Amino acid sequence: MKPIRVLIVDDSAVVRQVLSEVLTSDPAIQIMAAAADPFIAAQRIRDEVPDVILLDVEMPRMDGLTFLRTIMTQHPIPVVICSSLSENGSETALKAMEYGAVEIVAKPKIGTEEFLRESQQALCSAVKAASSAHLRPLRPVDPALNADAVLRYASPRAMMQTTEKVALVGASTGGTEALRVFLTAMPPDAPGIVIVQHMPERFTAAFAQRLDGLCAISVKEAANGDAVLRGRALLAPGNFHVLLKRSGARYFVEVRDGPLVCRHRPSVDVLFRSGARYAGKNAVGVLMTGMGNDGAQGLLELKQAGAATIAQDEATSVVFGMPHEAIKLGAAGRVLPLHAIAAGILGACQ
Protein backbone atom coordinates (compact mmCIF):
# COMPACT_ATOMS: atom_id res chain seq x y z
CA MET A 1 0.00 0.00 0.00
CA LYS A 2 1.14 3.52 -0.75
CA PRO A 3 1.95 5.63 2.32
CA ILE A 4 -0.48 8.34 3.39
CA ARG A 5 0.93 11.68 2.20
CA VAL A 6 0.49 14.45 4.77
CA LEU A 7 0.82 18.22 4.42
CA ILE A 8 1.57 19.94 7.75
CA VAL A 9 0.44 23.58 8.06
CA ASP A 10 1.65 25.34 11.22
CA ASP A 11 3.40 28.66 11.78
CA SER A 12 5.87 27.19 14.32
CA ALA A 13 8.98 25.57 12.85
CA VAL A 14 9.49 23.62 16.08
CA VAL A 15 5.94 22.23 15.98
CA ARG A 16 6.30 21.31 12.31
CA GLN A 17 9.48 19.38 13.14
CA VAL A 18 7.91 17.57 16.11
CA LEU A 19 4.78 16.67 14.14
CA SER A 20 6.94 15.36 11.28
CA GLU A 21 8.94 13.15 13.64
CA VAL A 22 5.83 11.85 15.41
CA LEU A 23 4.02 10.99 12.18
CA THR A 24 6.94 9.45 10.33
CA SER A 25 7.44 7.03 13.22
CA ASP A 26 4.56 5.18 11.54
CA PRO A 27 5.74 3.57 8.28
CA ALA A 28 2.26 4.01 6.79
CA ILE A 29 2.61 7.81 6.89
CA GLN A 30 4.83 10.08 4.79
CA ILE A 31 5.29 13.84 5.11
CA MET A 32 4.66 15.30 1.66
CA ALA A 33 5.50 18.87 2.70
CA ALA A 34 5.29 21.40 5.53
CA ALA A 35 4.08 24.99 5.28
CA ALA A 36 4.29 27.95 7.63
CA ASP A 37 0.92 29.41 6.58
CA PRO A 38 -2.08 28.71 4.32
CA PHE A 39 -0.69 30.71 1.40
CA ILE A 40 2.40 28.51 1.22
CA ALA A 41 0.20 25.47 1.74
CA ALA A 42 -2.00 26.47 -1.20
CA GLN A 43 1.06 26.55 -3.45
CA ARG A 44 2.10 23.09 -2.23
CA ILE A 45 -1.39 21.77 -3.01
CA ARG A 46 -1.23 23.19 -6.53
CA ASP A 47 1.99 21.24 -7.07
CA GLU A 48 0.76 18.01 -5.46
CA VAL A 49 -2.47 17.13 -3.65
CA PRO A 50 -1.91 15.49 -0.23
CA ASP A 51 -4.01 12.67 1.16
CA VAL A 52 -4.45 14.49 4.49
CA ILE A 53 -3.78 18.02 5.75
CA LEU A 54 -2.72 18.53 9.39
CA LEU A 55 -3.80 22.11 10.09
CA ASP A 56 -3.27 24.61 12.90
CA VAL A 57 -6.04 27.10 13.68
CA GLU A 58 -4.28 30.34 14.65
CA MET A 59 -1.76 31.46 12.03
CA PRO A 60 -0.59 34.73 10.46
CA ARG A 61 -1.91 36.08 7.14
CA MET A 62 -4.85 33.63 7.08
CA ASP A 63 -6.40 31.70 9.96
CA GLY A 64 -6.96 27.97 9.74
CA LEU A 65 -10.76 28.25 9.66
CA THR A 66 -10.75 30.44 6.56
CA PHE A 67 -8.32 28.07 4.86
CA LEU A 68 -10.42 25.07 5.86
CA ARG A 69 -13.59 26.56 4.38
CA THR A 70 -11.73 27.38 1.17
CA ILE A 71 -10.44 23.82 0.89
CA MET A 72 -13.82 22.22 1.52
CA THR A 73 -15.50 24.52 -1.00
CA GLN A 74 -12.95 24.39 -3.82
CA HIS A 75 -11.08 21.09 -3.44
CA PRO A 76 -12.24 18.89 -0.53
CA ILE A 77 -9.27 17.20 1.17
CA PRO A 78 -9.45 15.39 4.53
CA VAL A 79 -8.29 17.82 7.23
CA VAL A 80 -7.18 17.05 10.78
CA ILE A 81 -7.02 20.06 13.08
CA CYS A 82 -3.99 20.01 15.38
CA SER A 83 -4.49 22.63 18.06
CA SER A 84 -3.32 23.43 21.56
CA LEU A 85 -7.04 23.67 22.42
CA SER A 86 -6.76 26.31 25.10
CA GLU A 87 -10.00 27.36 26.73
CA ASN A 88 -10.22 30.38 24.44
CA GLY A 89 -9.52 28.28 21.36
CA SER A 90 -12.02 25.48 22.02
CA GLU A 91 -14.90 27.30 20.34
CA THR A 92 -12.76 27.95 17.28
CA ALA A 93 -11.70 24.33 17.09
CA LEU A 94 -15.30 23.23 17.46
CA LYS A 95 -16.28 25.50 14.59
CA ALA A 96 -13.63 23.76 12.49
CA MET A 97 -15.53 20.49 12.87
CA GLU A 98 -18.65 22.19 11.54
CA TYR A 99 -16.68 23.45 8.56
CA GLY A 100 -15.64 19.93 7.60
CA ALA A 101 -12.55 18.92 9.59
CA VAL A 102 -12.49 15.15 10.03
CA GLU A 103 -10.82 15.09 13.44
CA ILE A 104 -9.23 17.26 16.12
CA VAL A 105 -6.13 16.27 18.07
CA ALA A 106 -4.10 18.09 20.68
CA LYS A 107 -0.63 19.37 19.86
CA PRO A 108 2.12 17.30 21.47
CA LYS A 109 3.65 18.92 24.54
CA ILE A 110 7.30 19.10 23.61
CA GLY A 111 9.59 17.50 26.17
CA THR A 112 6.89 15.48 27.91
CA GLU A 113 7.74 11.89 27.07
CA GLU A 114 4.43 10.28 28.10
CA PHE A 115 2.38 12.91 26.31
CA LEU A 116 4.50 12.57 23.17
CA ARG A 117 3.97 8.81 23.23
CA GLU A 118 0.21 9.18 23.58
CA SER A 119 0.21 11.97 20.98
CA GLN A 120 1.87 9.61 18.53
CA GLN A 121 -1.02 7.17 18.83
CA ALA A 122 -3.66 9.89 18.58
CA LEU A 123 -2.03 11.70 15.65
CA CYS A 124 -1.28 8.60 13.60
CA SER A 125 -4.75 7.18 14.20
CA ALA A 126 -6.37 10.49 13.24
CA VAL A 127 -4.37 10.76 10.01
CA LYS A 128 -5.21 7.17 9.05
CA ALA A 129 -8.89 7.72 9.80
CA ALA A 130 -8.91 10.94 7.79
CA SER A 131 -7.29 9.27 4.78
CA SER A 132 -10.27 6.92 4.45
CA ALA A 133 -12.98 9.41 5.42
CA HIS A 134 -16.07 9.85 3.27
CA LEU A 135 -16.20 13.61 2.76
CA ARG A 136 -19.69 15.05 2.49
CA PRO A 137 -20.99 18.55 1.71
CA LEU A 138 -21.28 20.76 4.77
CA ARG A 139 -24.73 20.99 6.32
CA PRO A 140 -25.90 24.08 8.18
CA VAL A 141 -26.13 23.82 11.96
CA ASP A 142 -29.38 25.04 13.46
CA PRO A 143 -28.86 27.54 16.27
CA ALA A 144 -30.14 26.21 19.37
CA LEU A 145 -5.36 -2.38 25.95
CA ASN A 146 -8.94 -3.62 26.55
CA ALA A 147 -11.38 -2.69 29.21
CA ASP A 148 -9.78 -5.05 31.75
CA ALA A 149 -7.24 -2.28 32.39
CA VAL A 150 -9.97 -0.13 33.95
CA LEU A 151 -12.81 -2.46 34.92
CA ARG A 152 -12.42 -6.20 35.31
CA TYR A 153 -14.97 -8.29 33.44
CA ALA A 154 -17.63 -9.94 35.56
CA SER A 155 -20.84 -11.73 34.73
CA PRO A 156 -23.51 -9.01 34.56
CA ARG A 157 -25.51 -8.84 37.75
CA ALA A 158 -27.48 -5.68 37.18
CA MET A 159 -30.21 -5.26 39.75
CA MET A 160 -33.44 -5.64 37.86
CA GLN A 161 -35.73 -4.08 40.48
CA THR A 162 -35.66 -0.87 38.44
CA THR A 163 -37.06 -0.49 34.94
CA GLU A 164 -35.35 2.84 34.30
CA LYS A 165 -33.55 2.72 30.95
CA VAL A 166 -30.19 4.26 30.07
CA ALA A 167 -28.56 4.78 26.66
CA LEU A 168 -24.80 4.36 26.27
CA VAL A 169 -23.25 5.82 23.12
CA GLY A 170 -19.74 5.60 21.66
CA ALA A 171 -18.28 7.50 18.70
CA SER A 172 -14.96 8.63 17.25
CA THR A 173 -14.02 10.06 13.84
CA GLY A 174 -17.06 11.85 12.42
CA GLY A 175 -18.80 11.58 15.75
CA THR A 176 -19.23 15.27 16.47
CA GLU A 177 -21.66 15.69 13.58
CA ALA A 178 -23.27 12.30 14.21
CA LEU A 179 -23.91 13.20 17.86
CA ARG A 180 -25.42 16.53 16.85
CA VAL A 181 -27.87 14.82 14.50
CA PHE A 182 -28.70 12.13 17.06
CA LEU A 183 -29.07 14.34 20.13
CA THR A 184 -31.13 17.06 18.44
CA ALA A 185 -33.66 14.35 17.54
CA MET A 186 -34.16 13.28 21.19
CA PRO A 187 -37.29 14.55 22.99
CA PRO A 188 -37.14 16.36 26.36
CA ASP A 189 -38.16 13.19 28.25
CA ALA A 190 -35.57 10.96 26.58
CA PRO A 191 -33.88 8.33 28.74
CA GLY A 192 -30.60 9.30 30.41
CA ILE A 193 -27.65 9.14 28.02
CA VAL A 194 -23.92 8.68 28.66
CA ILE A 195 -21.56 9.34 25.75
CA VAL A 196 -17.93 8.62 24.96
CA GLN A 197 -16.64 10.65 22.01
CA HIS A 198 -12.91 10.41 21.40
CA MET A 199 -11.77 14.00 21.98
CA PRO A 200 -8.80 15.78 23.50
CA GLU A 201 -8.88 17.22 26.99
CA ARG A 202 -10.53 20.65 27.39
CA PHE A 203 -12.43 20.23 24.14
CA THR A 204 -15.36 18.24 25.49
CA ALA A 205 -16.69 21.01 27.74
CA ALA A 206 -17.11 23.41 24.80
CA PHE A 207 -18.62 20.65 22.67
CA ALA A 208 -21.14 19.75 25.38
CA GLN A 209 -22.05 23.40 25.85
CA ARG A 210 -22.70 23.83 22.14
CA LEU A 211 -24.89 20.72 22.00
CA ASP A 212 -26.78 21.92 25.07
CA GLY A 213 -27.80 25.03 23.15
CA LEU A 214 -29.07 22.97 20.21
CA CYS A 215 -30.97 20.15 21.93
CA ALA A 216 -34.29 19.73 23.71
CA ILE A 217 -32.43 17.68 26.35
CA SER A 218 -29.64 19.08 28.50
CA VAL A 219 -26.06 18.15 27.61
CA LYS A 220 -23.09 18.58 29.92
CA GLU A 221 -19.55 17.37 30.36
CA ALA A 222 -19.69 14.56 32.91
CA ALA A 223 -18.34 15.16 36.40
CA ASN A 224 -17.67 12.42 38.93
CA GLY A 225 -20.91 11.46 40.69
CA ASP A 226 -23.28 13.11 38.17
CA ALA A 227 -26.70 11.45 38.13
CA VAL A 228 -27.92 9.90 34.89
CA LEU A 229 -31.37 11.42 34.51
CA ARG A 230 -34.15 11.55 31.97
CA GLY A 231 -33.70 14.47 29.62
CA ARG A 232 -29.95 14.67 30.21
CA ALA A 233 -26.88 13.52 28.28
CA LEU A 234 -23.46 13.30 29.95
CA LEU A 235 -20.34 13.52 27.77
CA ALA A 236 -17.12 11.90 28.98
CA PRO A 237 -14.42 14.53 29.59
CA GLY A 238 -11.37 14.29 27.37
CA ASN A 239 -8.49 12.23 28.82
CA PHE A 240 -10.70 10.51 31.43
CA HIS A 241 -12.64 7.27 31.39
CA VAL A 242 -16.31 7.41 32.35
CA LEU A 243 -18.16 4.43 33.85
CA LEU A 244 -21.83 3.87 34.53
CA LYS A 245 -22.49 2.96 38.18
CA ARG A 246 -25.60 2.27 40.20
CA SER A 247 -26.79 2.77 43.76
CA GLY A 248 -30.20 1.23 44.32
CA ALA A 249 -32.42 2.49 41.52
CA ARG A 250 -30.13 5.47 40.81
CA TYR A 251 -27.65 5.53 37.96
CA PHE A 252 -24.64 7.81 38.15
CA VAL A 253 -21.24 8.12 36.48
CA GLU A 254 -17.73 7.65 37.79
CA VAL A 255 -15.01 9.70 36.09
CA ARG A 256 -11.55 8.26 36.58
CA ASP A 257 -8.02 8.25 35.24
CA GLY A 258 -6.46 5.07 33.90
CA PRO A 259 -4.42 3.63 31.05
CA LEU A 260 -5.32 4.01 27.39
CA VAL A 261 -7.80 1.31 26.38
CA CYS A 262 -7.94 0.43 22.68
CA ARG A 263 -5.55 3.42 22.37
CA HIS A 264 -8.14 5.79 23.82
CA ARG A 265 -9.00 7.56 27.06
CA PRO A 266 -11.97 7.82 27.35
CA SER A 267 -12.71 4.38 25.93
CA VAL A 268 -16.07 3.19 24.65
CA ASP A 269 -15.26 -0.37 25.76
CA VAL A 270 -14.89 0.81 29.35
CA LEU A 271 -18.27 2.59 29.31
CA PHE A 272 -20.04 -0.35 27.66
CA ARG A 273 -18.56 -2.90 30.06
CA SER A 274 -19.72 -0.87 33.05
CA GLY A 275 -23.17 -0.68 31.46
CA ALA A 276 -23.27 -4.45 31.03
CA ARG A 277 -22.42 -4.87 34.71
CA TYR A 278 -24.64 -2.24 36.29
CA ALA A 279 -27.56 -1.82 33.85
CA GLY A 280 -27.78 -5.09 31.92
CA LYS A 281 -31.06 -5.42 30.02
CA ASN A 282 -32.02 -1.89 31.09
CA ALA A 283 -29.33 -0.46 28.79
CA VAL A 284 -29.32 0.41 25.10
CA GLY A 285 -25.85 0.45 23.54
CA VAL A 286 -25.08 2.44 20.38
CA LEU A 287 -21.81 2.41 18.44
CA MET A 288 -21.33 5.16 15.87
CA THR A 289 -18.81 6.19 13.25
CA GLY A 290 -15.11 5.87 14.07
CA MET A 291 -11.82 4.24 13.18
CA GLY A 292 -10.51 1.15 14.97
CA ASN A 293 -12.35 -1.31 17.19
CA ASP A 294 -13.02 0.55 20.44
CA GLY A 295 -16.52 -0.33 21.63
CA ALA A 296 -16.98 -3.52 19.57
CA GLN A 297 -16.19 -5.93 22.41
CA GLY A 298 -18.08 -3.77 24.89
CA LEU A 299 -21.17 -3.75 22.67
CA LEU A 300 -21.01 -7.55 22.56
CA GLU A 301 -20.86 -7.65 26.37
CA LEU A 302 -23.91 -5.39 26.52
CA LYS A 303 -25.80 -7.66 24.14
CA GLN A 304 -24.85 -10.73 26.16
CA ALA A 305 -26.17 -8.95 29.27
CA GLY A 306 -29.57 -8.53 27.60
CA ALA A 307 -29.22 -4.94 26.38
CA ALA A 308 -30.55 -3.74 23.04
CA THR A 309 -27.63 -2.87 20.75
CA ILE A 310 -27.38 -0.66 17.67
CA ALA A 311 -24.55 0.02 15.20
CA GLN A 312 -24.51 2.87 12.70
CA ASP A 313 -24.59 1.73 9.07
CA GLU A 314 -21.78 2.15 6.55
CA ALA A 315 -23.60 4.60 4.29
CA THR A 316 -23.93 7.27 6.99
CA SER A 317 -20.61 6.63 8.81
CA VAL A 318 -17.68 8.94 8.08
CA VAL A 319 -15.39 6.00 8.94
CA PHE A 320 -17.02 2.56 9.10
CA GLY A 321 -14.46 1.06 11.48
CA MET A 322 -15.89 0.72 14.97
CA PRO A 323 -19.45 -0.18 13.86
CA HIS A 324 -18.08 -2.68 11.32
CA GLU A 325 -15.99 -4.45 13.97
CA ALA A 326 -19.05 -4.72 16.22
CA ILE A 327 -21.17 -6.11 13.40
CA LYS A 328 -18.50 -8.72 12.61
CA LEU A 329 -18.57 -9.84 16.26
CA GLY A 330 -22.34 -10.22 16.14
CA ALA A 331 -22.67 -7.47 18.75
CA ALA A 332 -25.18 -5.31 16.86
CA GLY A 333 -28.80 -6.27 17.31
CA ARG A 334 -29.73 -3.67 14.69
CA VAL A 335 -27.79 -1.72 12.05
CA LEU A 336 -29.37 1.69 11.45
CA PRO A 337 -28.65 4.85 9.46
CA LEU A 338 -27.75 7.88 11.54
CA HIS A 339 -31.15 9.58 11.19
CA ALA A 340 -32.92 6.48 12.59
CA ILE A 341 -30.79 5.92 15.69
CA ALA A 342 -32.73 8.24 18.01
CA ALA A 343 -36.00 6.49 17.13
CA GLY A 344 -34.27 3.14 17.55
CA ILE A 345 -33.24 4.01 21.10
CA LEU A 346 -36.68 5.33 22.01
CA GLY A 347 -38.32 2.21 20.59
CA ALA A 348 -35.97 -0.07 22.56
CA CYS A 349 -36.77 1.82 25.76
CA GLN A 350 -40.55 1.43 25.49
pLDDT in tens, 284-294: 999 999 988 99
Please tell me the total count of domains within the chain: 2
Q: Which among 51, 198, 267, 269 is annotated as catalytic?
A: 198
Q: Is residue 243 part of a domain?
A: yes
In CATH, what number is assigned to the domain containing residue 209? 3.40.50.180
Whether residue 142 lies inside any domain: the answer is no
172 with 281, same domain: the answer is yes
Q: Which of 70-74, 126-130, 154-158, 311-315 has the highest mean pLDDT?
A: 311-315
Give a yes or no: residue 137 inside a domain. no
Query: Catalytic residue at 198?
Result: yes
Say if 189 falls within a structural domain.
yes
For the stretch 10-44, pLDDT in tens is 998 988 998 898 899 999 999 999 999 999 999 99
Q: Do 207 and 343 reside in the same domain of the chain?
A: yes
Mean pLDDT of 92-103: 80
Band (pLDDT 50/70/90 cuts) for residue 145 is low
State residue 84's pLDDT score: 72
Q: Residue 223 above 90 pLDDT?
A: yes
- Verify that 82 and 207 share a domain, yes or no: no
Rg (CA), the chain: 20
The better pLDDT of the pair 113, 249 is held by: 249
pLDDT computed for residue 167 by the predictor = 98
Range of the domain at 266: 147-349
294 is an active site residue: yes
- My answer on whether 99 and 188 are in the same domain is no
| Marked catalytic residue, from 119, 131, 172, 317 | 172
Choose the catalytic residue: 56, 294, 313, 324.
294
Are the beta carbons of 310 and 154 closer than 8 angstroms?
Answer: no
Q: Is residue 77 part of a domain?
A: yes
Q: What percent of the chain has pLDDT over 90?
A: 61
Residue 113 included in any domain: yes
Residue 64: predicted pLDDT? 87
For 230-265, the pLDDT digits (tens) are 999 999 999 999 999 998 889 999 999 999 898 899
User: 159 and 127 in one domain?
Assistant: no
pLDDT band at 86 (very low <50, low <70, confident <90, very high): very low
Asked about 84 being catalytic, the answer comes back as no
